[in-house]
Amino acid sequence: METEKGGQLPLFDVIVKRKSSGNWEYAVYRKSTLMERYLNVNTHHHASQYTALMPTIMHRVHTLSDTGSLETELINLTTALRRNGYITDMILKRTMKVDKKLCQLATHVNGEKEGAQPRARITIPYVAGTSEMIAKILNEHNVETRFNTDTKINRLLYGRKDNVPK
């Protein structure tokens, strides 16, 4: 059971702080052992996986921080993402998209999903360079493309045994 220390109480992913006025403020709680290692941009993954990571983490920061600590948390997040190989322009672009989406949700301006529904969905194996071109062509025809890894380690290793001499 967690106890209050120095006017602060960590609860799950949030740290609640008691102000001198008696009010509470809250921010993202990070354990002292946190490494802030995210999916590194220099690994062999599709770009959509990198770009999907940023809004997820940014949404977490927005929902777990109050207005007083939000700016500090976003700076910490930007620094951590840069250490993992993310480009500053890409981070800023995603930050603006998340801010816009949160404003729309807060004001209930747009209750429906923007854009037309895809005509079809397809999952193809990911091959660097080739899969992106196929997805671009399919996107022009309103076909949503998703990627998966074709070869997994267990498929390579499963059933591979040496022949036992008789």
Residues 71-101: tens digit of each pLDDT:
888 899 999 999 999 999 988 888 888 888 8
CA distances from 35 to 30, 31, 75, 80, 114 (A): 10, 9, 16, 9, 36
In a domain, 44, yes or no: no
Q: Which residue has the higher pLDDT, 77 or 4?
A: 77
Question: Torsions phi, psi of 25, nearest 5?
Answer: -130, 155
Q: So what's the pLDDT on residue 146?
A: 87
Report the range of poorest mean pLDDT among 73-87, 104-118, 134-148: 104-118
- Give the closest residue to 27 by CA, choosing from 56, 68, 55: 68
- Give the closest residue to 38 by CA, choosing from 51, 27, 29, 26: 51
In a domain, 108, yes or no: no
For range 91-119, the mean pLDDT: 72
In a domain, 26, yes or no: no
What mean pLDDT is reported for the chain?
81
- Structural domain total, the chain: 1
The whole-angstrom separation of Cα 97 and Cα 89 is: 12
In a domain, 166, yes or no: no
For range 120-141, the mean pLDDT: 87
What is the domain extent for residue 125?
115-148
Residue 108 clears pLDDT 70, i.e. is over it: no
In a domain, 126, yes or no: yes
In a domain, 121, yes or no: yes
pTM: 0.57
In a domain, 124, yes or no: yes
In a domain, 119, yes or no: yes
